[in-house]
Amino acid sequence: MINLYNTHIASLSIHKVGNKSRNEPKILSQEPYKLDDELAPLLREYFFKPFRDKEESYYQFTHEVDLEFNELYKIANAIFENPENIHEASKNIVSHLFNQSEHPHIKSGEVYITFLENMQLDNEKVNGIGIFKSELKQDFLLFKEKENQLDLILQQGINLNKLDKGCIIFNSKKEEGYKILSVDSNRYDARYWLEDFLGVSLFEDENFITKKYLKFCQDFARDVVLPAEDKQQEVMFMNRSVNYFAKNDAFEETNFMNEVLENPDLHPEFRNYKQEMAPKYHIEDISNFPIANTAVTAARKKIKNVINLDTNIQIKLDFINSDSAERFIEKGWDEEKQMYYYLVYFNKEQKS
């Protein structure tokens, strides 16, 4: 889990990178940019907003031969060892990006290299390196007063509400290739940013595995439990799954199935579904792992616990007191009305 609220931009270098295949140049600033108090909060919001809105899926630097051959990994090491040299290192970052900018679709743009202090990552204070790129320009109008006349001036600039590309390299897990977050608003050239420039793969730690396994369970509930049983059992399966993850420090698949899958007929269905779908969730050969509480908390907020009926009635089930839904709700069939019904038991109505 990250917190960028108190993050300080300790240095900022601004360069421009063109498309190499179109013979567009790269422009390297000779000095770092001096931020003032007016511009600093605007750039903080521009740089960090996409990461606050983004689901946290971390990456790490990789290389098919050895991690030391990853160009950005080497540059990041040098910066973290000597942060005062980041401006010179930023020129190497832009040169590396320029060398990857050969596809005709890749757009030129400004590149911002920052050294970031006072970030929170997994409840620890860490420094980081921010690499951000603006590509798409928008038209805007300036108004110039001239005596009793207003003149219009058409200009082009970037929209501070939308960052085109960016990554934050956290000074954490160096031996594994650092923990990295990346955003890319323009999906047409995702390989260029993630693979060619950054050279990263998914960081498959306990947070990643917990999150992916819960997503796998959610899809299993939708694709298998719902057709085999009903909406109530789909919701209750996810209810029991989340509660299993919440109360245990480690996941063990056989124990999970015995505790969560009350219908034994679904056990082989679960194994078959996992065998078929595991590559999609990156959980191949994973049946035991430490559980990350932050991933469970995030998943609980996203999982729907509502039964929507075609009579414009909703039944909301409580994930905190999960046994209530099983003890006090019954489903049946009314022959006279030829309709299903839910029977709900209670002692008194609660005040809102």
Residue 48: how many CA atoms within 13 Å on its side-chain side? 19
| 136 part of a folded domain | yes
Do 153 and 48 have their domain in common?
yes
Rounded average pLDDT over 274-297: 88
Same-domain check for residues 316 and 183: no
- Which domain-ending residue is among 203, 228, 258? 203
Regarding whether 186 and 211 lie in a shared domain, the answer is no
When pLDDT is cut at 50, 70 and 90, the band that residue 223 belongs to is very high
Provide mean pLDDT across the span 67-95: 96
Is 301 a member of any domain? yes
Mean pLDDT score across all residues of the chain: 89
Residues 34 and 88 occupy one common structural domain: yes
**What does the pLDDT look like over 116-166, one tens digit per residue?**
999 998 889 999 999 999 998 898 888 888 888 888 889 888 889 999 999
* Residue-wise burial string across 294-310, b where 16 or more C-beta atoms lie within 10 A, e elsewhere: ebbebbbeebebebeee
Q: Which sign, positive or negative, has the C-alpha torsion 89, 91, 96, 100?
A: positive
- 177 and 237 fall within a common domain: no
Q: Which of 171, 203, 235 is the last residue of a domain?
A: 203
In this structure, the answer to whether residues 211 and 130 fall within a common structural domain is no
The model's pLDDT over 167-221, given as tens digits with 9 standing for 90+, comes to: 999 999 999 999 999 999 876 666 889 999 999 998 888 888 998 999 999 999 9
pLDDT in tens, 134-148: 998 898 888 888 888
Q: Are 89 and 71 in contact (CB under 8 A)?
A: no
Q: Give the β-pairing of 2-3 and 109-121.
A: antiparallel
Residue 42 resides in a domain: yes
- The reply to whether 27 and 167 lie within a common domain is yes
Give the per-residue pLDDT at 174: 94
Q: d(Cα 44, Cα 308) in Å, to the nearest integer?
A: 41
Distance CA(269)–CA(53), nearest Å, equals 35
Q: Same domain, yes or no, for 216 and 152?
A: no
pLDDT of residue 278: 86
Q: What is the pLDDT of residues 302-332, one digit of tens each?
A: 777 777 888 888 887 765 555 666 778 888 8
* Domain-embedded: residue 350: no
Reading the block at residue 49, the tokens are 């907003």
Among the candidates 166, 183, 203, a domain finishes at 203
Q: How many residues does the chain have?
A: 352
Tokens 């006279």 correspond to what residue?
A: 336
> Do residues 305 and 239 touch, judged by C-beta distance below 8 A?
yes
pTM value? 0.76
Which residue range(s) make up the domain with 146?
2-203
238 contacts 218 by C-beta, under 8 angstroms:
yes
> How far is C-alpha 202 from the chain's CA centre?
11
Are 316 and 244 found together in one domain? yes
Residues 225-258 pLDDT 10s: 989 888 888 888 888 898 899 899 999 999 999 9
Which of 166, 134, 163 is CA-nearest to residue 59? 166
Helices 266-281 and 206-220, packing angle to 10 deg: 130
What is the domain count for the chain?
2
139 and 168 in one domain?
Answer: yes
Domain match, 197 and 140 both:
yes
What does the pLDDT average to over 26-52?
93
Q: Is residue 177 one of the residues assigned to a domain?
A: yes
Please state, in angstroms and rounded to a whole number, the distance separating the CA atoms of residues 164 and 53. 14
215 with 181, same domain: the answer is no
Q: Is residue 351 a part of any domain in this protein? A: no
Half-sphere exposure of residue 216, counting CA atoms within 13 Å on the CB side? Answer: 24
Of the two residues 285 and 16, the one the predictor is more confident about is 16
**C-alpha triplet 326, 327, 330: angle, nearest 5°:** 70
The answer to whether residue 259 is domain-embedded is: yes
Q: Is residue 310 part of a domain?
A: yes
